[in-house]
Amino acid sequence: MKYHHIGFSQSDLGFDAPQTVILSGEPERSRFIAQTYLQNVKLLSQYRGLHSYLGNLPNGKPILVATSGMGAPSLSIVVNELVQLGIKRFLRVGTCGSIQPYISVGDLVISQGCLCRQGAALDIAPVEYPAIADPFLTVALVETARKLNIPCHLGITASVDTFYEGQERIESSANTQLQSWLIGITSTYRQLNILNYEMEAGTLFKMAGVYGFTAACVCAVVAQRTEAETIVIANKDTAVQRAIDVAINTISPV
């Protein structure tokens, strides 16, 4: 049976089915990871733009690379169906905006947990339920980044539902009139020592706790929110490749 949203079935994974998936919000990033880092790559599905690939890591172990789409609702559907296929370990490779002045574009943020402000997560667990990453996989990511001499920061992520209003964007948004409770939210989070904004990890971490799988997240910093609202496109590819290198070398050490 093909799962409705991801577009493939257990039989498509073969006899030696993978238990690890690298999740990316962008189908283009999923394709790049599969074609650049994996061997024996097979496209499983492109349904709904949720590109998924089966392949082998450099150490020979099978792995999935899957697209989660933008935001927690899409991610929650993809993760649910992947769990039903037997996936036990989820590693999100994403992008984010720094809200601390000492975290630069091109650096990595590795999330140890999230302030989770996401509606999808509320359908899975109460608001008080902790959104925490697997400590062992998270520490392994940090150790890999240090071995590769890639600047990384370990800490708390603000995981929110919207890119514009939820991350207090006004100058670059069609809506310049934020709700009053969102005005100043970035400064508040900065004072709480929160490192960055992104849109999926909080729900992923809550699902990990409820469903019983391992999850971690490494994000490339592509915006410096103490300086500007906009993404620094010129530095995005380099930053993202750093995050991918850390992810691949963590789960398939050389």
Q: From the candidates 5, 48, 165, 229, give the one annotated as an active-site residue.
A: 5
26 is catalytic: no
For residue 123, give the CATH number of its domain: 3.40.50.1580
Residue 231 CB neighbours (<10 A):
16
The structure tokens listed for 219 are: 């994000």
| CA dihedral angle for residue 76, residue 235, residue 253, residue 33, rounded to 10 degrees | 50
Per-residue burial over 43-78, b = 16 or more CB atoms within 10 Å of its CB, e = otherwise: ebbeebebbbbbbbbeeeebbbbbbbbebbbbbbbb
Q: From the candidates 26, 81, 198, 200, give the one annotated as an active-site residue.
A: 81
Distance CA 30, CA 51 (A): 7
Does the residue 114 lie in any domain? Answer: yes
pLDDT of amino acid 1: 82
Strand intervals (E) in 83-231: 89-98, 108-117, 131-132, 152-160, 194-198, 214-224
Helix axes 135-147, 233-251, angle to 10 degrees: 110
pLDDT of amino acid 254: 59
* 60: CB partners within 8 A, 6+ apart: none
pLDDT of amino acid 28: 96
Does the residue 78 lie in any domain? Answer: yes
| Average pLDDT of adjacent 10-residue blocks, the chain of 254 residues | 92 93 97 96 95 95 97 98 97 98 97 98 98 98 98 98 96 95 97 98 98 98 95 91 97 78
143 is catalytic: no
User: Structural domain of residue 23, as residue ranges?
Assistant: 10-251
Model pLDDT for residues 17-56, shown as the tens digit of each residue: 999 999 999 999 999 999 999 999 999 999 999 999 999 9
Does the residue 72 lie in any domain? Answer: yes
Does the residue 4 lie in any domain? Answer: no
Q: What is the CA radius of gyration of the chain?
A: 17
81 is catalytic: yes
Does the residue 1 lie in any domain? Answer: no
State pTM to two decimals.
0.96
pLDDT of amino acid 104: 96
Does the residue 2 lie in any domain? Answer: no
Query: How many structural domains compose the chain?
Result: 1
Q: What angle do CA 27, 247, 66 make, to 5 degrees?
A: 25
Q: From the candidates 89, 92, 153, 169, give the one annotated as an active-site residue.
A: 169
5 is catalytic: yes
Model pLDDT for residues 139-171, shown as the tens digit of each residue: 999 999 999 999 999 999 999 999 999 999 999
CA distances from 160 to 38, 70, 121, 146, 232 (A): 31, 11, 10, 28, 20
* 163: CB partners within 8 A, 6+ apart: 169, 199
Q: From the candidates 92, 153, 225, 242, give the one annotated as an active-site residue.
A: 225
Distance CA 108, CA 151 (A): 6
pLDDT of amino acid 252: 87
36 membership: H or E segment, kind and range: helix 27-37
Does the residue 55 lie in any domain? Answer: yes
Does the residue 5 lie in any domain? Answer: no
Mean pLDDT, the chain, rounded, equals 96
